[in-house]
Amino acid sequence: MVHEKDDETLRAGFSGEIKHRLGGETITLCYQCGTCAASCPVAKVTEKFNPRGVIKLALLGERQEVLSGSAIWLCSSCYNCQERCPQKVEIADVIYALRNIAIMSGHTPNIYSEFASGLMKEGRIVPISKFVEKKRTDYGLPPLKSAGVEAIKKILSTTGFDKIQWKKEGTP
Amino acid sequence: MEKLKIAFYWAASCGGCEIAVLDVNEKILDVVAKADIVFWPVAIDIKYKDVEAMPDKSIDACFFNGAIRTEENERIAKLLREKSKILVAFGSCACDGCVKGLANLWNKETIFQRAYFETPSTKNPELVTPQTSVSVKEGELELPEFYDTVKTLAQTVDVDYFISGCPPPISCIIQVFEGFISGNLPPKGSSFLPNKSICDECPREKKEHSITEIKRIYEIEDDFKTCFWDQQVICMGPATRAGCGAQCPKVNIPCTGCGGPGPRVADQGAAMISAMASIATDPSVIEQVVDPIGTFYKYSLANSILRRKVIK
Amino acid sequence: MTSYALFLGCTIPARQPHYEASARKALPQLGIELVDLDNMTCCAPPPLQSIDLETSLSIAAYNICLAEEADLNMITLCTGCFESLAMANTMLKQNEKLKARVNQILSSAGKEFKGNKEVKHYLQVLTQDVGLDRLKKSVTKDLSSLKVASFSGCHLLRPSALLKFDDPERPHVFDELIEALGAKSIWYRNKLKCCGGLLRGYADDVALAIAREKIVNTTKAGADCIVTLCPFCFLTLDLGQMLIKSAFHEEYNIPVLHYAELLGLALGIEPKELALDFHKIRLDKLLSEIR
Amino acid sequence: MNETKVGVFLSDCGNQLSQILDFDALVNHVKQVPGVALVVKASEFWRGEGLKTIVDAIKGKKISRVVVAESLPKLSEIRVVKAAEEAGLNPYLVEVIDLKDHCAWPHRDTPSEATEKAKAMLLAAIERAKLLEPIEKLEFPITKSVLVIGGGIAGMQTAEDLADLGIKTYIVEKSPFLGGLATRAGRFFPTDDCAICIQSPASDVKTITHTSRKCVYRSGFTEIPNLNILTNSRVIAVEGATGNYKVTIEKKPRYVNESKCVGCDLCTTVCPVAVPDEYNAKLKKRKAIYMNVPNVHPPVYVIDENVCKFHDCAKCVEICPTKAVELDQKSERITLNVGSIVVATGFQECDPSIVKEYHYDEYPDVITNLELARMIDGFGPTSGEIIKPSNREPARRIVIIQCVGSRDRRWNPWCSSICCMISLKHAMLIKSAHPEADVTICYIDIRTTGREHEYYYERAREMGIKFVKGRPSEIVHDPETDMLIVDVEDEILRRLLELEADLVVLASAMVPAEGTKDLADMLGIELDQDGFFKEYNAKLRPTETKRRGIFLCGGATFPKDAPTTSLHAHSAAMKATKFLSAGKVVKDQKTAVINEEYCGDCEFCPVTCPYGAISLVPKGEEHFVAEVSDLLCEGCGICVGTCPVNAIELRHARPNQMSAQMKALVSVNGTGKPLILAMCCSECGHTAVDSSGMAMMQYPANVRVMKVPCTGILQVHVFLEAFKAGAQGVMVVGCKSDGCHYEVGSQKAQKKVELAKILLNEYGVEPERLMMHNMVFIEGADFAEAAKTMTERLEKLGSLQLTDVS
């Protein structure tokens, strides 16, 4: 999870930081044609999100504005923009990279902390209610197999996931 | 007509060249019919002092295999030079230093350290290392001095002919013997191997030669048809003297270079490196080269331009 | 029988037993054996990818390792799981460096990703292993009166470079599978666009606005039902209609079915066997049209 | 053989150098060198008395080799060499060095060290001179004729120039009519004049004035003496070499006798076969016997053999009043012998179906710019009416989308460069004819970089054409309204728009013409990364290729507008004429030579030669040896730097010459600093050293410069030899990696240096003793800096003590 910063990254500032992050590699290919915005189902219904705008802000180096704002959390990860981008910017992945950086910088929406704690405790992000589990036999379903919680814990500890500071800042 | 007198000797060598002499099979009979073997430590019991007693230039031809690694090797090389009309550097060790030459990446001290103390199979609690002389109750025992650097025969004494290879190709050995018996010899300094490189004898097809990565032989499925370089495998054939009939490439093994450098090449490894760098498509290919000396100088380090590692 | 390691994921067993029941009952009838393996976990879908991509890839790879160890290819029902796992599988097969990094992480859990197994969505299994012909022959019910608005959801098709499922602009696999059951698959506006499901929990209003457009478009096109593959799409469109009703005072009541359910019905399995009472939008009218 | 007598001529540049260098010491030093027969010192040797001294010494047989130490090395070398040649000495027996810029000036602060270096430089020049060999001139005959491939505006303009200049010229056009893409375009921007207008041939003295430009059909193009036009023909094989190509042309049957057809049109009235007319965007049908549009050239009908019923019908044969229809014509093979070839194959519009979200292949009302051009053309299928192809109703709401499949890394990453202007032209032509039409252009960037092009854009705005900055994501057909909906973000408003349109026009990418790759293979010339023909050098040789005698022009190298195409075409004609006019290629045999005895047929050299000059020829049974074409070889030595058995040498840079030079350069130190050998290529590398000296930049005198033809010639063993000879450091100075004068030489040198560093490390020699530098002339300061840095680095490393090297 530690991503080393070399000279080039530092020179390129925020966009360099993104480029060196898994998923963010293609950000500087963007030439702002707007295909992503026109493809975006979310941009169609709210002005709070425009993928082109997010990338533009990031390329301009507006780190704080990008990371603390709500826009990056409004991508629905539908990949429509990514399919059509004529510069092969992996837009959805760039947004993942931005979210990863945001979380490392302490900007975590509540629901994501919940996902994380579910994963850490049970190895699943949607908890299974006793009610549904009991009803399985009624529908002729076999008992559920246990989740590999121990393995997950080891993986999370190796990547440092379990050490992320889940600052309760409320929804950005 | 008086019979010719010939001698064989092995210095620092593995013994393979001696076997190769016998691999000429019935041809050896032609040799002994025309010539007396006056010295051949591996086969006949004649001592150094017997050789010393021979008149100078009384041996018609001496076939000397092995590199010069010890004081003894050097002394006998000089002795045989004095006693022989013709001295032939026989095999890769005598010509180019061969695998023994790779010892030039170390010196006596580091070699002894490794060989007598560090190797996993060594048990040497009394820390014994070879000494040039040691007193025991029966008297003084002597061992020849071990040199820091392995040399070729020609770096030690004047050599008349060369026949490289590890061991030399049988057909070339036959040619040598026939040359001597008939007295029909090339000019001094000649080699008995052809002037061209292995590729000339190799049946494999050459294509684009565009090297994008380096693969080891086990990483490819050899089609037995295509040049190894076109299969991204390093083959020393292009920089190696022909004569063996490309034996190795014919049986799925890239040439490792035992024939030594071409006649106009001072440094076999550097020659191959230049050629390889010239066809590499990408600088990253260069980074994939590991152990360049082991790869490109397996047989010729002692006979290269720099010859040995600089040890401070 | 062709055997697959079943990757069930989190949402289906927790919330949609009707999906699981339909799949478990329908697929074996077509010669597909579903094998349950121990110790599977969450697939590491977009919400976890949002927290840390590297961790998510490692978790996905961990689950694939379990299938590799069992020497089985993996089948997923949930499209989200398919995306997470198939994407990780392709990425790691293609990128040696990434694979090495992930294997370094996996070694802590005693696993090594080898990259010798496939991750398949059950639609792929139906087209590749069963085949449209066998499927058509297995249908016992008449669905010909049904006009179906198919909705594959995003993660069956995209990112196409990694999922390699179907043409992302002109997909045909899903529609062919619907028509193989005898129903008619219809066109509607923005058919390939997202349902907004992933925004639930963060921006419910936005999610609902997107879902509403989907419901409006399918209704406009005269669909009898919407057929989905993804538990999130299902939730967004089925439960979503309730939410739309209270937020916008609009009532659509367009039934939403999982393809596995439609398949089960077409094969003649009884609706109650399929646990269809879990649906929010009633299916009575629809079921009455299936003879 | 006569004894080699070297004459050494030392210029002190008007006594300037004497203030730094001790010339008495130099003269004494040189005199003692074996083989030196004459030493003369004077103020200058490149003109006047000085030059006469050299000439007299040669004529008087006092010397057989000339070493001149002179400033202005490039200019003085030309003068001295020329004079020596006139005096009867082979020009390759002259060695010129520059004691000013390479020694006195850069080391003026340390005069005694400079003198020691000058001694080494002189010794190196003398030792090299002694080993020099005479090199002869070669002549290769050239056939004085040219083949122009492609009959569009580029090909026609080039062919016309060439034929006008009296060169036998063939023009080969694959389609049945001349004119290429331009004829379909109808009009040209920014003047809106006819696309079929060309410059008239000067050879027609009766009707042509200086200002004449005429339509193709009245230009008299076919009547130019020396010009042969082959339409419906294509090149299928090219053999031979520079100056003498044998080209095989396949001429497809026209089935109409060109010399009999009068163009009366009776045939088309009876022809029963009607097919969609591709030329006219399939907006109308044409017959199996047809002409594209009236006034095409040649004005002769052609039969489409894929659809004609031939003898089963033969109605055209019956009706033809001149018996011109010949249904039994067969395709012919024609062989042409030409000295030169001009490639003018142009470009084509990309099929935009690849951009699936625009549904070009599904929606009939989505068309391309070229198809729109046919609609706008009064001669076109709709007689100028703009319609919806789906129902032929007038189209009044039109959206034009720019960069379709262009500037798109999924398909064609480049900007096609002319589409913005084409779309502006179309928008304005529509708007002028139908002021009520609603025309919107969706763009990423409007690129109007040509002369007057910006005014064109301005006029478009004046006319009320709408511009939306944003690339549409999708075109959707709404079955209810039968309208097309274009989803686009107006980035300036940050608003998502759904533009409704009757007709959507795609400005589709301009891509290399079909068959470009095959033709390139046939001709042995390169394509660029985008698949267009690659010129030798965009700035200096924009119409030449690496194959001497093969030229390029027009859109074959990249999409171009008409003015640029024309410019390019005239330039190609000039270059081809220049090449052909001498009737022969005269070239020094400054080439590589293979020693067959040692060549082992490893086939490394042919793949490294940038000029395709090396081939393998059979030698005995199943054996091959490499052979160098003196005609194609440029003498760089990249092959020499590759050959693992040293079977290749350059006649002008033999290994013994280089070795002698190298040893001499490090034979004298006199500076107390570690000796450094800078192996500089004769192009950028050496001139960077010149420029540092010219600018009097200082660097230490322990740096010794050795000139080699190209750094590509250097083998790893040369570096090792240098260290063995006493160099403490080696600098390899070549051209920039993408600016190598021999294309790939400095890249190859770079790789050899990298590998040699890995090797040196194994040898216990610090790899940083060997460095590669890439420089151009203006980077003299970088050379001086690198020389200083290397010196300091070596001083820190301490002396290199190679052990046991005897």
The residue written with tokens 């089963």 in the block is D312
One domain, residues B48 and B175: yes
The H or E element containing residue B51 is helix B48-53
User: What values do phi and psi take at B41, rounded to 5?
Assistant: -50, -35
Residues D677 and D802 occupy one common structural domain = yes
pLDDT score at D790: 97
Look at D356 and C189 and tell me if their CB atoms are within 8 Å. Answer: no
Q: Which domain holds residue D739?
A: 671-806
Pairing, β D503-508 against β D366-368: parallel
Chains in touch with D (3+ beta-carbon pairs under 8 Å) read A, B, C
Quick one: pLDDT at residue A3? 46
- Do D340 and D370 reside in the same domain of the chain? no
Q: Which of residues 60-99 of A touch C (CB under 8 A)?
A: 70, 73-74, 76-80, 82-83, 90, 92-93, 96-97, 99
Task: Please indicate if any CB of chain D lies within 8 Å of the CB of B33.
Answer: no
CB distance B238 to D604 below 8 Å: yes
What is the structure's pLDDT at D274?
A: 96
Q: Is the pLDDT of residue A27 over 90?
A: yes
Domain membership of residue B13 as a residue range: 4-99+148-182
The count of residues in chain B is 312
ipTM above 0.90, yes or no: no
Handedness of CA C135, C140, C142, C146 (dihedral sign): negative
Q: Is residue B124 part of a domain?
A: yes
Residues D519 and D504 in one domain: no
**pLDDT, average across residues D270-286:** 93
CA dihedral B146, B150, B155, B158 (to 10 degrees): 60
User: How far is A25 from A93, CA to CA, in rounded Å?
Assistant: 9
Q: What pLDDT, on the 0 to 100 scale, is given for residue A9?
A: 55
Are residues D502 and D534 part of one domain? no
- The mean pLDDT value for A117-126 works out to 90
Q: Does the residue D406 lie in any domain?
A: no
CATH match for C140-289 among 3.30.450.70, 3.40.50.11810, 3.40.50.800, 3.10.25.10: 3.40.50.11810
Task: Please tell me the predicted confidence (pLDDT) of residue D475.
Answer: 97
Report the CATH number that the domain containing residue D691 is assigned in CATH: 3.40.50.960
CB-based contact (8 Å) between A38 and chain C?
no
| Structure token pair of residue B107 | 């010196």
Chain D CB within 8 Å of residue B110 CB? no
User: Is the per-residue pLDDT at D689 higher than 50?
Assistant: yes
Domain shared by B30 and B162, yes or no: yes
In this structure, of B303-312, C83-92, D218-227, D344-353, the range with the lowest mean pLDDT score is: D218-227
The answer to whether position B155 is within a domain reads: yes
- Subunits adjacent to chain B (3 or more Cβ pairs under 8 Å): D
- Nearest CA of chain B to the CA of D712: how many Å? 8
A167: confidence class by pLDDT, cuts 50, 70, 90: low
Mean pLDDT of D147-167: 95
**Domain A7-104 in CATH 3.90.930.12:** no
Instruction: Pick the residue from chain C with its C-alpha nearest to A106.
Output: C51
Predicted confidence at residue D205, as pLDDT, reads 67
User: Chains that contact C by 3+ CB pairs under 8 Å?
Assistant: A, D
Residue found under tokens 């990780």: C88
In the predicted structure, residue A165 carries a pLDDT above the cut 90: no
Cα–Cα dist D549/D566, whole Å: 20
D613: Cβ contacts below 8 Å, ≥ 6 apart: D591, D592, D628, D629, D631, D632, D633, D634
Q: Same domain, yes or no, for D161 and D310?
A: no
Q: E strands, D292-370, where?
A: 302-303, 332-338, 340-343, 347-349, 366-368
**What are the residue ranges spanned by the domains of chain A?**
7-104, 110-163
Domain ranges of chain C: 2-122, 140-289
* Mutation choice for D interface testing from A29, A32, A33 by most D CBs within 10 A: A33
- D631 with D696, same domain: the answer is no
Provide the domain count of chain D: 6
D711 touches chain B (CB under 8 A): no
What total of structural domains would you count in chain B?
Answer: 3
Using a CB-CB cut-off of 8 Å, the residues of chain D touching A39 are 473-474, 487
What residue in D sits closest to B295 (Cα-Cα)? D759
Residues B45 and B171 in one domain: yes
Residue numbers in chain B where pLDDT is lower than 50: none
pLDDT of residue B252: 92
Pair B48, B140 in one domain: no
Cα distance between residue D655 and residue D670, in whole Å = 27
- pLDDT for A2 equals 41
Distance from the A8 Cα atom to the nearest Cα atom in chain D, whole angstroms: 22
- What pLDDT score was predicted for residue D218? 77
Q: Do the domain assignments include residue D407?
A: no
Nearest Cα residue to C91 out of A156, A83, A22: A22
Q: Does residue B283 share a domain with residue B177? A: no
- What distance, in Å, lies between the first and last C-alpha atoms of chain B? 58
D171: which strand partners? Answer: D148, D229
CA angle (D526 as vertex; D524, D529 as ends), nearest 5: 155
Residue B8 falls within a domain, yes or no? yes
CA distance D382 to D380: 6
Average pLDDT over residues D222-243: 93
Euclidean distance between CA atoms B62 and D426, whole angstroms: 93
Q: Is C59 on the interface with A (CB under 8 A)?
A: yes
Read off the pLDDT of each residue in D789-801 and give the average, rounded to a whole number.
95
| Contacts for D355 with CB less than 8 Å, ≥ 6 apart | D404, D405, D408, D411, D506
pLDDT, tens digit, 9 for 90 and up, residues D374-403: 999 988 899 999 999 999 999 999 999 999
pLDDT tens, residue by residue, D280-324:
999 999 999 999 887 788 889 999 999 999 999 999 999 999 999
D791 and D645 within one domain? no
* B165 & B68 share domain: yes
Do residues B215 and B140 share a domain?
A: no
Mean of all residue pLDDT scores within chain D: 94
What is the SS3 string spanning D4-60? Answer: CCEEEEEECCCCCHHHCCCHHHHHHHHHCCCCEEEEEEECCCCCHHHHHHHHHHHHC
What does the pLDDT read at residue C1?
87
> Beta strands D397-404 and B4-10: pairing type?
unpaired
C251: helix, coil or strand?
coil
| pLDDT tens, residue by residue, C35-87 | 999 999 999 999 999 999 999 999 999 999 999 999 999 999 999 999 999 99
Confidence (pLDDT) at D1: 47
User: Is the residue at D791 inside a domain?
Assistant: yes
Q: Is the pLDDT of residue D594 over 60?
A: yes
Cα C108 to Cα C110: distance, rounded to the nearest angstrom: 5
**Average pLDDT estimate for D518-547:** 94
Q: Do C21 and A126 touch (CB under 8 A)?
A: no
CA distance C75 to C123: 9
Mean pLDDT within A155-163 = 93
User: With contacts defined as CB-CB under 8 Å, which chain C residues touch D478?
Assistant: 189
Contacts of C178 (CB under 8 A, 6+ apart): C148, C150, C185, C227, C259, C262
CATH 3.40.50.1820 is held by the domain C2-122: no
